[in-house]
Amino acid sequence: MRVVLGVSGGIAAYKAPELVRRLQDAGADVRVILTPNAARFVSPLSLATVSNHGVIVEQWGDVDKGGVDHVELARWADVLLIAPATANILAKLATGIADDALSTYALAHRGDVIVAPAMNTFMLQHPTVAANLATLRARGVDVIEPDWGLLACGDEGAGRMPDPPLLVERVKRHFVPRDLEGKSVLVTAGPTREPIDPVRFISNRSSGKMGYAIAEAAKRRGANVTLVTGPTSLNEPAGVNVTRVTTAAQMHDAVMRALPSHQIVVGAAAVGDYAPSEVAATKIKSGELALSLKKNPDILASIGSAKPAPFIVAFAAETDAVESNAREKLQKKNADLIVANDVSDSSIGFDSDQNEVTVIARDGSSTKIDRAPKLVVANRILDLVVARLSARSHT
């Protein structure tokens, strides 16, 4: 694990040496960047001593050494953890300001970013701080919620930086084995849209977040990943081959074209079962509308009948009898695993950033994955895929 620890100028900076030690105990190699204000709370010398590396404070680097420190460090690092993250550094991260070593490095960093906000409760509740945190979350930054308690200013409320053991556990979530190297993974994501006329369509509430998380997680684990996605507002995962489609028929065709070169298929898309039998050439005027529907192609069934069939992970988004409906679908689709989730619960349903699922295998066994961010859930699903593939290769 290669971690850059960014320390900004809050009182919680005094925890930084212990945090470095605990990260090292977890197997991390840690490099530290201090803002000038952070250096008022904790000395660069103490952090250099515990980390066994020089500490970056000045933006301009070492003129005798040459090179650009923040770019070189970005090539090395896996994770950037900023703890404590003050309101000032959060604003810089959200707006792209680069006026010190830490904010400049953050722009160059290409790995995961984790921030642990720590400040006075009233500052934390300020609309600007809330907006900046929302911006960072939307970009995929992992925001660790502050603890509630007595603050350095004497107030009591939210704003305390969590203790180092919790921060280390959060960092460990971002490290996964490269156990899918040499594998090609095909992922479907998002909804499909079936046109009624030039302005109307039939669709569903899928955001695509779960499928995109699986594509990102598989890429991080070393796989060659193809993502076939319906219409979403999500940013494409870095390094993933993306094919955008609109209708179920288009998704079927794209998947079947890509299928021969992929050993694993994860069908996370919410594919429409039906489409209008006819599409009006012009906008249908308002009034009563009766639609005749036709069945869309069954993508998972087509994949399951392929020879040789890939390893198939299906999804079952259910609102009732979740597990029994998923087990029935597992058999019908000839899948190896099926991921059942209750979309009637808005906190883990469509468009949520979290999920809670049960993964059922063809042999009838099941694994519960507790509520967690979708990227974490994605990795736990892939853990099961890797385990099943390994068992298959040894039989």
Which residues are identified as catalytic?
153
d(CA 38, CA 214): 37
Lookup: tokens for 306: 């392929």
Between 164-172 and 16-25, two packed helices, what is the crossing angle to 10 degrees?
40
d(CA 36, CA 210): 40
Lookup: tokens for 360: 């059922």
- Name the helix (H) or strand (E) containing 87: helix 87-95
- Residue 210 Cα to chain centre, angstroms: 8
- Residue 353 Cα to chain centre, angstroms: 9
DSSP states of 230-280: -S--PPPPTT-EEEE--SHHHHHHHHHHHGGG-SEEEE--B--SEEESS--
CA neighbor of 313 nearest in space, from 226, 393, 386: 386
d(CA 295, CA 286): 26
Residue indicated by tokens 């479907």: 188
Lookup: tokens for 328: 């029935």
* Helix (H/G/I), strand (E/B), else coil: 295: strand
Backbone angles phi, psi at 202, to 5 degrees: -100, 130
195, with CB counted inside 10 A (0-12, 13-18, 19+), is middle
